[in-house]
Amino acid sequence: MNQYPISYIHPDDDPLDIRMDNVFKAVFTKDTPESMGALSQFVSALINRNVTIVSILANEPPIGNTRDRQMRFDINCRAENGELVNVEMSFNPKPFEPVRMEFHVAKLFTGQDIRGIDMDYSDLKQAYQITILAKDRFFHDETFLHTFVYYDSVNHIPLKGRTQIITLELSKLAAVVKKPTREMSIPELWAVYFEYLTDRSKRSIINEILDCEEGIAMASSVLMTVSRDEEERARIMRDEKIELDYQSEMSWARKEGRALGRAEGHAEGHAEGHAEGHAEGKQEIINLLKTGKSPEEIIMEYSTAMQA
């Protein structure tokens, strides 16, 4: 049983959606034992080994820098043994997500400093990229949790390197949520909590999860404190509005650009077609004149050809 004071979700509660980027950060990056404890237990559940997160290395850029925030990972943190972890909530993953994850875990790994006469490659710490994919099915199977490492794809021999990419797909939980909570794995408990927290029909299941998993109870305690704080709730919703406005403006600009491009292409094609048709017609008349026919015959023949 969970020994942490539980903050149950009551029927009249209106918790913020933890799948929202800024809500996710608000829950897991506060300088409190509950927030850091929740982050440590979540990371431990996904890497299948107990770790304690001791510091947040970088959080979101300033509010005014919304564009840069789209390129930054949500939580960049360090464990007590020096291992590095990026944790991201990706509400609408893009098609290039696999390459993006690979790029950022490589950047995190190679950003370590091993210069010095007493340092070598064996001093590099493990680096993890954890991405929660909130919407749509990204990988074409039924497995919601994937762990990617470098390996020989022909002989199935792992490189045993020190980088891992871990993905959690929340769209693949239809069967999982039907299981009794006592039969769910810890990653399943976290995934169901993220996906169904705001679903009132699943509230009893969420409270059962809070009762049996301490890390999730910690996260929920922070979340409900934020949700019930009118000032912080307003700030989070304002941040979300800024981000959505920026995304909408960019989408609108792309659509306008495509529409303008099509219009310009149509106009250009029409002008080119008219010019080419005019030139071809002129050449045809010249060819008819070379035959020695009278102007009347040429006009009659050209008109017939145009009507065909």
Provide the strand spans (E) within the chain: 53-58, 75-79, 84-90, 127-133, 145-148, 151-152, 157-158, 163-169
pLDDT, greater one: 285 or 149: 149
pLDDT for residue 276 = 62
Highest mean pLDDT among 23-32, 52-61, 180-189: 180-189
pLDDT, greater one: 178 or 251: 178
Q: What is the mean pLDDT of residues 291-305?
A: 61
CA distances from 15 to 89, 132, 163, 200, 233 (A): 17, 19, 35, 10, 10
pLDDT for residue 269 = 57
CA distances from 77 to 37, 56, 130, 143, 222 (A): 13, 4, 11, 27, 19
Backbone φ and ψ of 31, nearest 5°: -85, 65
Highest mean pLDDT among 49-58, 61-70, 134-143, 207-216: 207-216
Encode pLDDT of 49-100 as tens digits: 999 999 987 655 443 443 444 444 479 999 999 999 999 998 878 888 899 9
pLDDT of 206 strictly over 70: yes
Q: What is the mean pLDDT of residues 173-185?
A: 96
Phi/psi-derived region of residue 82, left when phi > 0, alpha when psi is between -120 and 50, beta in every other case: left
pLDDT for residue 260 = 73
| Tokens 């304002």 sit on residue | 238
Cα-Cα-Cα-Cα dihedral sign, residues 9, 14, 18, 23: negative
Q: What is the mean pLDDT of residues 112-137?
A: 92
d(CA 146, CA 167): 5
Q: In angstroms, what is the C-alpha Rg of the chain?
A: 30
- pTM exceeds cut of 0.85: no
pLDDT of 258 strictly over 60: yes
Lowest mean pLDDT among 60-64, 184-188, 241-245, 261-265: 60-64
Encode pLDDT of 30-61 as tens digits: 889 999 999 999 999 999 999 999 998 765 54
Q: What is the mean pLDDT of residues 115-129?
A: 93
Q: What is the mean pLDDT of residues 273-302?
A: 61
pLDDT for residue 70 = 43
Domain spans of the chain, in order of start: 21-228, 229-308
pLDDT for residue 127 = 96
User: In the chain, how many H helices and how many E strands?
Assistant: 9, 8
3-state secondary structure 124-188: CCCEEEEEEECCCCCCCCCCCEEEECCEECCCCEECCCCEEEEEEEHHHCCCHHHCCHHHCCHHH
Looking at the chain, the whole-number percentage of residues with pLDDT higher than 90 is 52
Structure tokens at 136: 């749509």
Q: Note whether 12 and 228 are within 8 A (CB).
A: no
Structure tokens at 244: 């959505």
Q: What is the mean pLDDT of residues 224-238?
A: 76
CA geometry: angle 51, 43, 230, nearest 5 deg: 120
Lowest mean pLDDT among 13-22, 39-48, 221-230, 269-278: 269-278
pLDDT for residue 85 = 95
